[in-house]
Amino acid sequence: MLIIVGSRREGNCYNLAKKLKEKFDQERINCEIITPGNQKIHLCTGCMDCDKNGVCDFTDDMRENINKISKEEIIMFITPTRWNLLSGDLKIFMDRLNPLYARKGLKNKKMIAVSIGARPKQLYSTEAAISSLTSFAESAGMNVILKKEFNNCLNAYDILSQEDEINNFFNEINKLTI
Ligand SMILES: Cc1cc2nc3c(=O)[nH]c(=O)nc-3n(C[C@H](O)[C@H](O)[C@H](O)COP(=O)(O)O)c2cc1C
């Protein structure tokens, strides 16, 4: 399991990823967390060279990220909700996945899509953020196996007070993946 964290602060997205990793570790399931916003990742220039040869001209942390994604069956994206959308860090990351897409390397990979927001559920803000993740999945040929929204998370550690929700989510993942 590879978890891509869409917020660069050690906030709700990272704290959720850390909690899930602890649980995966207990079950001896390999789990790694990547925070693209804290890595060296150039913006895609749209040159389209990768469409021809499946390789990006930039040599930065995306080389290793793409290696890791190639080997994983399930990728979890955790995005903070920003203006009802996914985070900019994740969008930059997705653009830079085009070399892998060009080699059909994303096809049939499984995605777990998670959004976290400050607003309450009935405002549909986190739902809209999830739909930007699932639109990417659809476009990339990935299969979304699970979607999860966490609401009412404004301050960095708010998610940790939703322990039952996190446990239920982990159990749902377990049912689908083990
Ligand atoms: C620029 C910006 C825009 C945001 N827009 C929304 C929003 O549209 N809906 C929402 O529920 N929360 C919104 N939030 C709040 C974050 O989604 C929320 O605080 C989330 O828990 C942040 O995740 P993090 O702690 O991992 O950074 C926004 C936060 C920022 C910084």
Reference 78, options 93, 63, 61; nearest CA is 93
Domain boundaries, the chain: 2-177
**Environment class of 108 (CB within 10 Å of its CB; exposed 0-12, middle 13-18, buried 19+):** exposed
Centroid of ligand 1 to alpha carbon of 108 (angstroms): 30
* 116 Cβ closer than 6 Å to some ligand 1 atom: yes
Q: Ligand 1 within 6 A of 38 CB?
A: no
| Residue 178: pLDDT over 70 | no
Q: Which helix (H) or strand (E) holds 21?
A: helix 12-26
In CATH, the number for domain 2-177 is 3.40.50.360
Residue 115's φ and ψ, nearest 5 degrees, are -125, 145
Q: What is the pTM of this model?
A: 0.98
- Could you report the per-residue pLDDT of 80-137, keeping only the tens digit for each? 999 999 999 999 999 999 999 999 999 999 999 999 999 999 999 999 999 999 999 9
Structure tokens at 54: 């499946």
Best residue for ligand 1 mutational test, from 82, 152, 153 (most atoms within 8 Å of Cβ): 82
153, 120 Cβ separation under 8 angstroms: no
Over residues 31-60, the pLDDT tens digits come to 999 999 999 999 999 999 999 999 999 999
Closest approach atom of ligand 1 to CA 6: 26
CA of 49 to the centre of ligand 1 (A): 34
Helices (H), 32-152: 49-53, 62-71, 88-95, 98-102, 125-140
